[in-house]
């Protein structure tokens, strides 16, 4: 294992994030704070409890996931796309580092930034809404697993994209709508039976449900199913990245 290569990629990506701290960290935290003010305090004060949890506290896991998914994808996709755009990807491919080491560097840095952001948002939520974490180990596990999984997904988008516009297509047109429809602001048990069944085809439902369970012990889907679905997405992403580096798809042409 080439630890020097992994460390070099990781440190470069982390340094890039701290050079753009306003866009990478401050902007997502500010945006999520506005959600807390509007939904948690203004609207939440007029709504009843959901499963004995105040509405403001109920939406915290969903808002954290909303930011976590978008930032994980954005960090990882931009990180690998820039070498492709500038042409330095060929230096990376000819360097004495394997695809696993490249992946560990880029995805590790993207996941680290996303976890830091998630923790900052949780800390910010304390200012607006009191909440408790019933299962802190499960919370940390879901936070880390989701950050790694969607950083992998973002890495794939960065490999696939051939323009800056394409980097935004999947997050804006697919991931964000799935997050809003995945129970970020409500429980899917509040939907009619037909739409509850349809919602189960949304993979984000399992992420938000499992993460919310770690806070309040309530979930739309059993915790084992949520964890298993997240692991399944992680494995699929790993297989796809392995295939890309094995075939050179979108790397050597």
- Tell which residue, 18, 158, 173, 174, has the closest CA to residue 74: 158
* Contacts (Cβ under 8 Å, ≥6 apart) of 128: 33, 36, 37, 40, 41, 56
**pLDDT given for residue 231 in this prediction:** 92
Sequential DSSP letters for 49-112: -BTTB-HHHHTHHHHHHHHHHHHHHHHHHHHHHHHHHHTTHHHHHHSS--HHHHHHHHHHHHHH
Q: Enter the tokens of residue 125.
A: 């939520």
**pLDDT given for residue 45 in this prediction:** 64
**pLDDT given for residue 170 in this prediction:** 85
> What is the spatial distance between Cα 33 and Cα 159, in angstroms, rounded to a whole number?
32
Walk along the chain (253 residues) and give the pLDDT tens digit of each residue: 778 888 888 998 888 777 776 776 777 888 888 887 777 666 666 777 787 888 888 988 998 998 899 889 988 898 888 888 887 777 777 778 888 888 899 999 999 999 998 998 898 888 888 888 999 999 999 999 999 999 999 999 988 888 888 888 888 888 888 888 888 888 898 889 899 899 999 999 999 999 999 999 998 999 999 999 989 999 998 999 888 888 877 766 5
> What is the spatial distance between Cα 123 and Cα 15, in angstroms, rounded to a whole number?
23
Owner of token pair 């930034």: 113
For 76, other C-beta atoms within 10 Å of its C-beta total 32
**pLDDT given for residue 44 in this prediction:** 62
Q: If phi over 0 gives left and psi between -120 and 50 gives alpha, with beta otherwise, what is residue 119?
A: alpha
From residue 165, give the alpha-carbon distance in Å to each of 78, 171, 172, 216. 11, 11, 11, 39
Instruction: Kindly state the DSSP code that residue 251 receives in the 8-state scheme.
Output: T
**8 - beta bridge partners?**
none
């Amino acid at each position: 294992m080439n630890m020097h290569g992994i460390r070099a990629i990781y440190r470069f990506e982390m340094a890039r994030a701290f050079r753009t701290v306003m866009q990478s960290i401050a902007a997502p935290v500010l945006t999520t704070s506005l959600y807390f003010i509007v939904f948690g305090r203004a609207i939440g004060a007029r709504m009843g409890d959901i499963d004995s949890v105040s509405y403001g506290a109920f939406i915290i896991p969903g808002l954290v996931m909303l930011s976590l998914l978008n930032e994980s994808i954005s960090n990882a996709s931009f990180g690998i796309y820039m070498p492709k755009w500038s042409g330095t990807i060929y230096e990376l491919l000819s360097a004495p580092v394997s695809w696993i080491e490249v992946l560990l560097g880029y995805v590790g840095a993207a996941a680290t930034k996303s976890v830091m952001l998630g923790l900052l948002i949780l800390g910010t939520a304390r200012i607006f809404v009191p909440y408790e974490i019933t299962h802190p180990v499960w919370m940390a596990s879901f936070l880390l697993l989701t950050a790694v999984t969607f950083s992998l997904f973002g890495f794939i988008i960065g490999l696939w994209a051939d323009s800056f516009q394409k980097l935004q297509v999947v997050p804006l047109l697919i991931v964000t709508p799935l997050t809003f429809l995945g129970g970020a602001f409500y429980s899917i048990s509040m939907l009619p039976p037909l739409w509850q069944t349809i919602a189960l085809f949304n993979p984000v439902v399992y992420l938000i449900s499992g993460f919310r369970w770690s806070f309040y012990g309530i979930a739309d889907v059993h915790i084992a199913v949520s964890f298993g679905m997240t692991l399944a997405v992680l494995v699929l992403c790993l297989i796809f990245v392995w295939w890309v580096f094995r075939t050179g798809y979108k790397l050597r042409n």
